[in-house]
Structure 1
Amino acid sequence: MTLNLPQLRAFLAVVDAGGFSAAAAELGMSQSAVSHAVASLERELTAPLLIRASPVRTTVLGAKVLPHARMALSAVRSVEQLAADAGGTMTGTVRLASTPTVCQGLVPGLLRHWREDQPRITVRVFEGDSAEVAAWLEDGTADAAVLIDPPPATAGKYPWSGPGIELATDEYRALLPRDHPLADEPRVDIRDLEDDPFLISPNGCEARVRTLHSLAGLRFSPTHRVRDLATLISMVQAGLGVTVLSEVSRSLIPSDLVLLPLQPQTSRRLVLTGPQARPWHPALRTLAESAAGHLVRSVSRPAAPAEGHSLPSGSR
């Protein structure tokens, strides 16, 4: 049996992209070349790995092969890291996942800095809710993520894995129409919003907003639950209620709304990290170092190693 890396790359690309055409675009290959690579892998294994539907799904064997294929390519990347360190250059494509507010409010500044500082590294962004982002990082769909309040970090199990880089401390704010009676106040007590219809986006932030209400002795009873951030903002514009958003959302707020400091205060940590259960993508270490040395559109303070840890072992 003879397996090769192009076969494994094609197989992973098809699974991650959900189809052969999208995988071909991702790899910069023709669709027929991707199909041929996957078919040759299946011939070597004498069994199908994919169910050719829309989207493409793995067979039982394909699901078992998938994590091993990811580990094989991770090992190759580790070798590439050694060569890149020796030559003083780094190239590659890193798939970065994060939540909508972070993708829209913080990630553009990161991408702009990386494009100038590390032009040979390509970063592809994937947007999902908190649960999706964590799952993508765990199963290898994403190479990196900006996680919200990750658990206390421990030393990475593999070389070049680690706790990540804390990009910002992101405080929560009250979002009000500019003609709201409290819009000119320097700070808003959430108790003063008790009579306003309250809007909430049912994602990772809801637990923190619940905590805010609990700290203030208020019952949490939102009038509307809105998944899409743009819709939530539009409803506040329309005078249908008020809400709480994080400071990183400020660049998305139109001029007829105000984002004001909130009492009680609470915040979240935004941490750029790779997986803990496998080696980091070689280029991610370079991006993490670059972010740590730069004030990345910091919401309230510059980038720093998360949880007081240093960069992963071997960092420059």
Structure 2
Amino acid sequence: MSVTLRQMEVLVAVVDEGSFGAAADSLQMSQSAVSHSLATLESAAGAPLVTRTPTILSTDLGEAILAHARRVLASARALDATILGHRGAVAVGTIRLAAGVTASHRLVPELLIRWRAELPGLDVRLFEGSDDELEAWLESGAVDAAVLVDPDPPAHGAVILAHDDFRAVLRSDHPLAQEARINLADLAEDPLLTSTSGCEPQITTLHAMAGSNYAPAQRVHETSTLLGMIAAGLGVAIMPALALTMLPENLVMIELEQYLERTLVFTGPAERPWHPSVERMRDIAKSPAAILSIVP
């Protein structure tokens, strides 16, 4: 069988957009052309690749083909950009950037301003996910670049954007809210609230450093939900320092005696060549003006 790039684009778009109509809009094709392209691919594969009702979901075979299609399409985009760059073309098109919640809130907006000013033809699309999702998205080809936390080892060419540490987040009327620094063990009687979107391994490590048992009272996904629960007096949390600007007025962030640092890194994929525009974004991100403005 011979699979075309267009067929792979259609499969990815149908699954990601969740409907044939939305996929047609994103690919600037007619809906009938999208349906025909996917049907041709399914005929060649000998089995359905997506379920069409009640919602669009990939089948097991479709999921396996998607994994290859995303990587092939990412490499094809990078190849096209390399050829165009050799011919002197400016950076154009779309770059998909993945980042976690605190990086998206604190680091990425300032970088987007720099990239827009210096690469005006480039459209950088942000995809926000948990720490566990980011690296998988990057290596699968779902995104072209990412801001990762403590990658081990970092990909060749990656650059450090910022360092921060983990701190306690309390209500401003908490008995320890006026302290300059507290021991994590001092919060043992407070219900611990944690987010499943990232940082749990580091928070577990901090409890081990303090000789305390890690036993969260509540685990939620959204950071906004976590902050709302703290503000309501339902518990305390441990969060990275970059989250400081996300806190509402009735919450405070206090340094911990147990110091644990994390490093946020801008990177392309580790297992395949980077998109040329990602390399240009990297060079802008590591410039002194950018670094000095975003370090907490």
Short-chain TM bin:
0.7 to 0.9
The alpha carbon displacement at 1:19 in A equals: 3.3
Q: Is the 8 A contact 1:71 1:278 kept in 2?
A: no
Distance in structure 2 (CA, Å) of the matches to 1:109 and 1:96: 14
Cα drift, residue 199 of structure 1: 1.7
**Whole-Å Cα distance in 2 between the matches of residues 12 and 282 of structure 1?**
22
Using the size of structure 1 for normalisation, the TM-score is 0.81
Q: What are the residue-to-residue correspondences of 1:150-229 with 2, within 5 Å?
A: 150-153=151-154, 162-229=156-223
Shift of 1:271: 1.3
Aligned mates of 2:190, 2:70 — CA distance in 1 = 53
Q: Distance in 1 between matches of 2:191 and 2:42?
A: 57
SS at match of 2:294: coil
Cα deviation for residue 120 of structure 1 reads 0.9
- Do the aligned partners of residues 61 and 187 (structure 1) sit closer, same or farther apart at CA in structure 2, a change above 3 Å counting? closer
Give the alignment's TM-score, normalised by structure 2.
0.86
**Amino acid paired to 2:72:** M
Aligned residue number for residue 102 of structure 2:
101
CA distance in 2 between partners of 1:79 and 1:228 (Å): 37
1:255 has 2:256 as partner: no
SS in 1 for 2:166: strand
Q: Deviations over 1:141-173 (max 9, x none)?
A: 12222111111235xxxxxxx342221112111
* Residue 188 to residue 31, structure 1, CA distance change in 2 (3 Å): farther
Q: What's the CA shift string for 1:198-240, capped at 9, x where partnerless?
A: 2222343112112112112222222222222112111111122
Q: Which of the numbers 250, 255, 258 marks the counterpart of 1:264? A: 258
Deviation (angstroms), 1:246: 0.6
Decide whether the 8 Å contact of 2:11 with 2:66 is kept in 1.
no
> RMSD over aligned Cα, in angstroms?
2.7
Report runs of 4+ in structure 1 exceeding 6 Å deviation: none
1:27 aligns with 2:27: yes
Letter of the structure 2 residue corresponding to residue 219 of structure 1: N
- 1:74 is matched with 75
Match of 1:288 in 2: 282
Q: Is residue 50 of structure 1 aligned with residue 46 of structure 2?
A: no
**Structure 1: which 5+ residue stretches go unaligned?**
155-161, 301-316
- Classify 1:218/1:51 alpha carbon distance in 2 versus 1 (closer, same or farther; 3 Å): closer
- Structure 2 residue aligned with 1:299: 295
CA distance in 1, matches of 2:74, 2:249: 47
- Equivalent pair of 1:92/1:283 in contact (CA under 8 Å): no
**Which segment is superposed worse, 55-64 or 116-125?**
55-64
For structure 2, the 5+ residue unaligned runs are none
* Sequence identity percentage: 41
Change (3 A) 1:27 1:181: same
Distance 2:69 2:223 in 1: 37
Q: Is the partner of 2:167 in helix, strand or coil?
A: strand
Counterpart for residue 113 of structure 1: 114
Q: Is the aligned partner of 1:243 residue 2:244?
A: no
Give the aligned length: 292
Distance in 2 of aligned mates of 1:218 and 1:46:
54
Residue 12 of structure 1 contacts residue 70 of structure 1 at CA under 8 Å; is this kept in 2? no
Q: Secondary structure at the match of 1:173?
A: strand
Residue identity in the other structure for 2:159: I
Contact 1:105 1:249 in 2 (8 A): yes
1:137 and 1:145 in contact (8 A); partners too:
yes
Measured in 2, the distance between the counterparts of 1:76 and 1:244 equals: 40
Q: CA deviation at 1:12?
A: 3.1
